[in-house]
Structure 1
Amino acid sequence: MTAITAGLVGAGCSHLLHLIEGLVFGDASGTLLHAISSVPWWHRVCALGGAGLIGGISWYLYARAGGKPVSLPKAVNGQKMPILLTFWHSINQIVIVGMGASIGREVAPREISASLGGKIADFLYLPPEQRRIIVGCAAGAGLAAVYSLPLSGAVFALEILLIEVTASAVWPALIISGGAVLVAHGWVRSDPFYTLPEAGQLLPTASLTLWAVIIGPLLGIIGVLFKSAVSACSAARPTGWRLLAWMIPIFTLIGVITVWVPSIAGNGQSTAQLAFDGAVLGQGGRAAAGIGVALLASLAIDGFTKLIGTLATIRSGAWGGTLTPGLALGASSGAILGILWSYIYPGDTTAIVCFAFIGAVVVLGTSMSAPLTALCLVIEFTHRGATLLVPTVVALGLGVGAARMWNKWRAKQAQ
C-alpha cells in the first residue's frame, strides 16, 4: 500500500511540475532551462516575481492557518504530519519550482509520501517501531518515484531517516522504494537525469586518482560549508508579512539575473549538466588551455550564481530541496578544480566529466551527511560511474573524514 501510494505521489508531483512549467513558459517538453531560454527577458522576470508573490501569500496563509512544517526525522520518530497542511506546504514548493524558483523539488514528494505512509500505518494499527519503518521508507520512496531512483530511495531511508541497516528495515525499504518506482515509471528505467558520455570514456587515470586523494578533503569541506550556509539561511527565514517583503524582491532579482544566466532558475540540473558536458582535455597545449579557460569562466559563473540563488531563495522564506543544488555545486567545483589540475599535471587526458562526477558525489555526500546515499544518487542520476568507483570512493572517504574534522574544529572554536 505504501509503495503504490508513494509511486502515485511521485508521478503526480512530476506531472504537476511539468504542467506548471507549460502554463508559465509555454513549453514543458524539454528542460526548464530550455523553456526559460525560449521566452523574452521580461517574461522570465515576471515569472520569478510571480513565483515570489504566490509563494509568499500562500506560505503566509499557511502559517495563519496553523501550519508548521514537520521535519521528516520528527515524522519518523512519531510526530503526526497533518495531511491537508502537508499537501498545502508541498504543493506550494512544486508551484514555485515550476515557475523557476532556484531550489530543489525533491522535498515535496518525500513529505506527502511520509504523511500518507503514517496514515496507512495508523489505519492498520501498526506498532510504533513498524510505523517508524513505514514512514521512513515512504519518504525515501517519494524521492525514488519522482526521479526513478529505486536503490537511492531505499538507501536514503536507511542511512538518513531510519539510521539502521537491519533485516527488519532493509527489506521494506527495498520493496517500497522499488515498488514506488515501478508504479511511477514501470519496470524499464527512464532516461538518465544527467547525460554523461559512454562508460568507455569515463576511465580513471593516475592523474585522476592522485587528484582525488589531494582534492577529496577540500570537496568535503565545501559540502560542509554549503550545509552550514543552508542551515543559517533556513534559521533566518522571515515570518508573517515579512515573507512578502522578502520573497517578492528576491525572486524578482533572481528573475533579472536569468536575463544573463538563465541556469540560475530551477533546481540546478542545468548547472550540473554544464559540468558533466566538459570535453576531454587535450595534451596540455594551447588548444587545451583555451578550452580550460573558457570552461573555467562558464562553470564559475554558473556555479556561483546557482549557489547564491539557492541560498537567497531559502533566506527569503521559501521551502524546498537542496539535493540537486548541492549536486550542482559539487559537479561545478569538481570540474573547476579538475581544469586547474590540468595545468599542474600537464599532458593529462582525463575527461572533465570525471572530475565533475567525483565532485558531485563528495560535496553531495558531506552536505547531506550521507555518503552512501550520495554515491547511489549520482550513479542512478547518471546511469554511469562503475568505472570511476576507486577514485570516487577514496575521495568520498577522505571528504567525509575532513568534514568530521572540520565540524569538530568548529565546535571547539564555538566553546
Structure 2
Amino acid sequence: MATEPSSLGSLHIPYRRFPVLAAVVVLTGVGAGLGGMLLALLLHAIQHLAYGYSLSHAASGESFLSGVSAATPERRLAALVICGLVAGLGWWALYRFGRPLVSIKQAVKPDGFRMPVTSTVVHALLQIVTVALGSPLGREVAPREIGAVWSDWLARRAGLNAAERRIMVACGAGAGLAAVYNVPLGGALFVLEVLLGTFEWSALVPAVVTSVIAAVTAWLALGNDHQYEVGQLALSEPLVVWSAICGPLFGVAAWGFTRLTEEARARAPKDRRLPMYSLLNFAAIGVLVMVFPQLAGNGKGAATLSFDSDLTIGLATTLLVLKVAIEVSTLRAGAEGGLLTPGLTNGALIAVVLGGIWNMLWPGTSPGAYAIIGAAAFLAASMQMPLTALVLMVEFTRVNHDLLIPILLCIAGSISTFKWMVQRRFMQVPESE
C-alpha cells in the first residue's frame, strides 16, 4: 500500500547541485536497466537449462509454458525438487548468516533503514533462480531491489540528503520494474502511487526519467517487446455491464487473497525448519506440474492462455484453485517473491470463469476481454494501486483504448469493495488485538 504523502515537493535544491542530482538520476536509470536486463537473462537461461528447451539461446521466442509442456513429467518434477532445495537452503543460509533484510517500503520511509547490499543481492538472486525453476511467485521484486540498492549507493556517494535519497531509492525500484517488464510509465507510477505516495514535481520528474532510461537500456538485450500478444478486442454492452457488476466480486476475492498471503508470510519459518518445509512444498508442486504444466512459474503462461481465450471454464477453475493454493503454500514454506504476476493471473482466471457464465446469459464477448479486465481489477485491489494497475495492463498488452471504459469501471468497483472490507474488518477487531 502507498506510504503517507510527504512534503517531498517542497525540497529546495540549489542550482549548483542540479548537475549532481541529474547525474544520479541518469546513472540510476542506466544501472537499474542493466540490472533488470541481466536478471531477466539469468531467468531465461535457467529456465531453458532446467526444462531443456531453446538451449542455444539465452532468450528466445519460445514461451516458458511451451518449454515446460514439452519437457517430460519426470523432468518437471526434478526441476521443482531442485527449486525446493535451492529455496530452502538458500533462504535459511541468508537468514542465518546474512544481515537482516530491509524492504524497499521500509527503506523509503522518513526514518527508514539502509538496505544491506550483499543480503539484498543474494535475496534477489534467490528469487530469480527459484522463479526460473518453477516457483509460483513473481520475479518483479528482484529487479526492484537491485535498482533500489544501486540508487541508494549512488545517492550516498553523491552526498544527497535524506529526502533526496528516499526519492532515488524509490526511483531505482521503479526503474528496475520498468526494465524487466518494459513498462516505463508503469514503473514511474509505481514509484509515485505506491512507494512515495506523492505526485510532486521533485518525485515525478526523476521517477519518469529513471524508468524511461531503464526500459530503453534493457532493450539492448531484451528488445522493445511487450509481455502479452493480444488480438483486437471489441467493446460491447455485455462487457460494460459485466464490468460494473463484477467489480465488487474482484474486490472481495483480492481481499481474501491478501489475507491469505499476509498470514502465510507471517507464519513462514526462518529457522532450520525452512529447508524441509520448502522441499516438501516444491515437491508437491512438482507432482501437480507433472499433470498441469500451466502451474509452473509465476503465472504468465496461464495469464497468456486467459488473454488468448484458450481456457474453458472448467480448466480455468481448476488452475485458479491450484494457483492460489501453491502461491499461499510457497509463502508459508518460507520462499520469497512478488505477487504482481500471480495476482494478475488470479484475476484473469476468475474473469474467465465469471465471463464464461455471463456469456451463457448474454453472449458475444471474447473471454480474453473479460480476462484483461479482471486481471487489472484484481491487481489494482490486491496491491492497492489502481492507477499503476491500469497503466501496467495497457503497457503489458497494448490493448485497444476502448477497453479503458470497462477496465476503469471494474477497478472502481474492486477498489471500493476492498477498502470497505478492510474498514469493516478493522472495526470488528477487538481492542485487545
TM over 0.5: yes
Q: Deviations over 1:190-237 (max 9, x none)?
A: 232112112xxx222111111111111111111121111111111111
The aligned counterpart of 2:20 is none
Among candidates 77, 81, 99, match of residue 49 of structure 1: 81
Among candidates 98, 107, 115, match of residue 66 of structure 1: 98
How many Å separate the matches in 1 of 2:49 and 2:207? 36
SS of match in other structure, 2:394: helix
Among candidates 385, 395, 419, match of residue 370 of structure 1: 385
How many Å separate the matches in 2 of 1:277 and 1:399? 23
How many Å separate the matches in 1 of 2:244 and 2:90? 47
Residue 271 of structure 1 contacts residue 303 of structure 1 at CA under 8 Å; is this kept in 2? no
Q: Aligned in 2, Cα 1:358/1:409: closer, same or farther, shift over 3 Å?
A: same
Superposition deviation, residue 49 in structure 1: 0.7
The aligned counterpart of 2:228 is 194
How many Å separate the matches in 2 of 1:380 and 1:217? 24
Q: Does 1:243 align with 2:243?
A: no
Give me the CA root mean square deviation. Answer: 1.5
Matched residue count: 396
Letter in 2 for 1:398: G
SS of match in other structure, 2:113: coil
Residue 17 of structure 1 contacts residue 95 of structure 1 at CA under 8 Å; is this kept in 2? yes
Q: Does 1:358 align with 2:373?
A: yes
Q: Does 1:407 align with 2:426?
A: no
The aligned counterpart of 1:230 is 261
Among candidates 98, 122, 129, match of residue 132 of structure 2: 98
Q: Percent of pairs identical after alignment?
A: 37
How many Å separate the matches in 2 of 1:188 and 1:390? 32
Q: Which range moved further: 364-373 or 390-399?
A: 390-399
The aligned counterpart of 1:313 is 330
Q: Deviations over 1:67-90 (max 9, x none)?
A: 332111111124111111111111
How many Å separate the matches in 2 of 1:64 and 1:335? 43
Superposition deviation, residue 247 in structure 1: 0.3
Residue 73 of structure 2 contacts residue 291 of structure 2 at CA under 8 Å; is this kept in 1? no
Unaligned runs of 5+ in 1: 280-293
Residue 271 of structure 1 contacts residue 306 of structure 1 at CA under 8 Å; is this kept in 2? no
SS of match in other structure, 2:291: coil
Residue 53 of structure 1 contacts residue 247 of structure 1 at CA under 8 Å; is this kept in 2? yes
Map 1:382-401 → 2, pairs under 5 A: 382-401=397-416
Superposition deviation, residue 413 in structure 1: 2.0
How many Å separate the matches in 1 of 2:79 and 2:315? 25
Map 1:153-302 → 2, pairs under 5 A: 153-185=187-219, 190-198=224-232, 202-278=233-309, 295-302=312-319
TM superposition score normalised by structure 2: 0.89
Residue 300 of structure 1 contacts residue 332 of structure 1 at CA under 8 Å; is this kept in 2? yes
How many Å separate the matches in 1 of 2:360 and 2:65? 32
How many Å separate the matches in 2 of 1:307 and 1:272? 14
Letter in 1 for 2:359: S
The aligned counterpart of 1:85 is 119
The aligned counterpart of 1:25 is 51
Letter in 2 for 1:250: N
Q: Aligned in 2, Cα 1:266/1:188: closer, same or farther, shift over 3 Å?
A: closer
How many Å separate the matches in 2 of 1:191 and 1:3? 19
Superposition deviation, residue 187 in structure 1: 12
Superposition deviation, residue 5 in structure 1: 0.6
Letter in 1 for 2:402: T
Letter in 2 for 1:46: A
Superposition deviation, residue 12 in structure 1: 0.7
SS of match in other structure, 1:258: helix
Q: Which range moved further: 90-99 or 30-39?
A: 30-39
SS of match in other structure, 1:204: coil
Residue 263 of structure 1 contacts residue 306 of structure 1 at CA under 8 Å; is this kept in 2? no
Among candidates 26, 29, 33, match of residue 3 of structure 1: 29
How many Å separate the matches in 1 of 2:287 and 2:126? 22
Among candidates 133, 143, 150, match of residue 109 of structure 1: 143
Residue 226 of structure 2 contacts residue 395 of structure 2 at CA under 8 Å; is this kept in 1? yes
Residue 37 of structure 2 contacts residue 221 of structure 2 at CA under 8 Å; is this kept in 1? no
Unaligned runs of 5+ in 2: 1-26, 55-59
Q: Does 1:39 align with 2:54?
A: no
How many Å separate the matches in 2 of 1:22 and 1:334? 31
How many Å separate the matches in 2 of 1:190 and 1:341? 36
How many Å separate the matches in 1 of 2:270 and 2:193? 32
Q: Does 1:380 align with 2:412?
A: no
Superposition deviation, residue 131 in structure 1: 0.7
SS of match in other structure, 1:259: helix
How many Å separate the matches in 1 of 2:134 and 2:224? 24
